[in-house]
Amino acid sequence: MSTLIMIDQAPYGAWTGREALDMAFSLAAFDQPASLFFTGAGVNWLRQNQEAGGIGQKSVEKNLSAAPIFGIEAILADRAACETYGLDENSLIEGVTLVDADAALLNDYDHTAFAG
């Protein structure tokens, strides 16, 4: 029963990304295999050096870095979306695997869900 949680909204402007992380962490906490897939503007969650104190929010960079420790199986990012947003190995946080967004990706999971 593996689950892919998809995040396609940019960070900080909307809450669905954070709530998607909570879903993935919650699955992991109950020993359910879960992976995260960032696509569209959502890939910006994976950028290094996010300093959100100035807008009164917590950075999610730490949460994401801790994902493997919490049992998240993989952090996947849409290769094309990363290119659009100028994200490469130098600017992405560690532990991200670039993949193509196609039907084959979905076939690797029993469930796929958005947080909103």
Question: Any idea what DSSP says for residue 15?
Answer: S
Tokens 């999610």 -> residue:
60
Q: Does 106 bind other proteins (CB under 8 A)?
A: yes
Near other proteins by CB under 8 A: residue from 65, 91, 95, 97: 91
Beta carbons within 8 Å of 13's beta carbon, 6+ residues apart: none
Compute the chain's Rg from CA coordinates: 13
Binding residues vs other proteins (CB under 8 A): 1, 3, 8-16, 19, 22-23, 26-27, 29-30, 32, 39-41, 44, 47-52, 54-59, 61, 84-87, 91, 101-103, 105-106, 110-116
